Structure 1
Amino acid sequence: MKRAKRAGLISEQSIKEALTEAKGDIFLASTALDCTARELDGYIRASAELQQFAAAIEKVKIDPAYSRMSVEQFENRLADLSLAYKIVGIEELHKLATMSHQNSGAMAKVKFQAALALRGGHQQVAGDREIEHALSELNALYHQNAPRIKEIRQTVIKLEGGQEVPQVTIELQPDQS
């Protein structure tokens, strides 16, 4: 510490700034000041002003009003970032919705979904699942209620010379379940 103090790198003001940035954590503040925590602690103990400053930081940290203010600041910052990211997202959706799909079915679907999202339809993912579920149900109902096909294929083989082989019929036996 004496080396840094002699070089003019550590002062009461720089210690206050480091403690403020580190929210009172001596170890983080000492890292910022490029000294050991023990050296920083000794300097704080030697100065009544720094002791009061460090005590004030600790007092503020346990104050419920400070905690509430920190939560409010966090929520406000989160709301600001969410709005900013929504703008970026809308710009990217616009790019997707207006790009050429180059005769690709997958890209056309991406373009369509981007256009839906821009329009305000936030149900495209759920909508796909709902459509798949509905088609699956319809398929199951069809297989359950469709009339059983008894005759599947009929084949007649004609050989050269006019000879005919009798018809072959393949039948599907209905399930007994």
Structure 2
Amino acid sequence: MKRAKRAGLISEKSIKDALTEAKGDIFLASTTLDCTARELDGYIRASAELQQFAAAIDTVKSDAAYARMSAEQFESRLADLSRAYRVVGLEELHGLATMNHKDSAAMAKVKLQAAIALRGGSSVSGGDREIEHALAELNQLYHQNAPRIKEIRQTVIKLEDGREATQRVIELTPDQ
């Protein structure tokens, strides 16, 4: 420490900064200052101001009011972030609900779920029932209006190496 102190690397300010960063832990603070914990302890014992500073850190760490205040600040920050992320999520849901699903059933389901969430659907279990009901209606409408399969043919092709390849051909009824 004498070497670092002589080089001007350790001062009361740097010790306070290291103790603050290490939350009063002398071993962590000494690592930050590149000295031994024993050397740091000796320097703190030699300065009344540093002793008061270290005692204040210990007092704050054990103060229930400070812990409660920290918890309240955390909860407040969490609530602020949650509100901000809800706005972003709502914008994303709007994008999903208004996108073109390009005749993809999976994308249509995503679009439906986004629209329900955007509308403010009921709870998760109720939302699941609502989604299932909506999907059942969509499935029924699809079966009523979808082209009907007339015939399925299967062609088996034998390759020179003995393997077989199957090819299915589906013929649809003409549109009415």
What range is the shorter-chain TM-score in? 0.5 to 0.7
Deviates more, 1:60-69 or 1:101-110: 60-69
Which secondary structure state, in structure 2, belongs to the residue aligned with residue 38 of structure 1? helix
Shift of residue 19 of structure 1? 1.3
Report the 3-state secondary structure (helix = DSSP H, G, I; strand = E; otherwise coil) of the residue aligned with 2:3. Answer: helix
Counting aligned pairs with the same residue, the percent is 80
Who wins on radius of gyration, i.e. which is larger?
A: 1
Q: Hey, what's the Cα distance between the residues in 1 that align with 2:69 and 2:118?
A: 36
Asked if structure 2 preserves the Cα contact closer than 8 Å seen for 1:30 and 1:36, the reply is: yes
How far did 1:126 drift?
4.1
User: 2:63: which partner in 1?
Assistant: 63
Which SS does the other structure have where 1:101 is aligned?
A: coil
Structure 1 108/50 Cα, relative in aligned 2: closer, same or farther at 3 Å? same
CA distance in 1, matches of 2:112, 2:130: 17
- RMSD, aligned α-carbons: 2.3
- Matched with 1:109 is 109
What is the one-letter code of the residue matched to 2:22? A
Residue 67 of structure 1 and its aligned partner are, at CA, apart by 1.5
Q: How much has 1:131 moved relative to structure 2? A: 7.1
Residue 98 of structure 1 corresponds to: 98
Aligned residues between the structures: 133
Aligned pairs for 1:1-177 (under 5 A) are 1-123=1-123, 126-129=126-129
Paired AA for residue 64 in structure 1: A
Q: Distance in 2 between matches of 1:110 and 1:131?
A: 11
Instruction: Give the TM-score taking structure 2 as reference length.
Output: 0.66
Give the Å deviation of 1:99.
2.0
Between the aligned partners of 2:85 and 2:34, the Cα distance in structure 1 is 37
Give the Å deviation of 1:98.
2.2
CA-to-aligned-CA distance 1:103-123 (integer Å, 9 cap, x gap): 101101101111111121153
Name the TM-score, length of structure 1 as normaliser.
Answer: 0.65
Unaligned runs of 5+ in 2: 134-176
Note if contact 1:116-1:124 (Cα within 8 Å) is conserved in structure 2: no
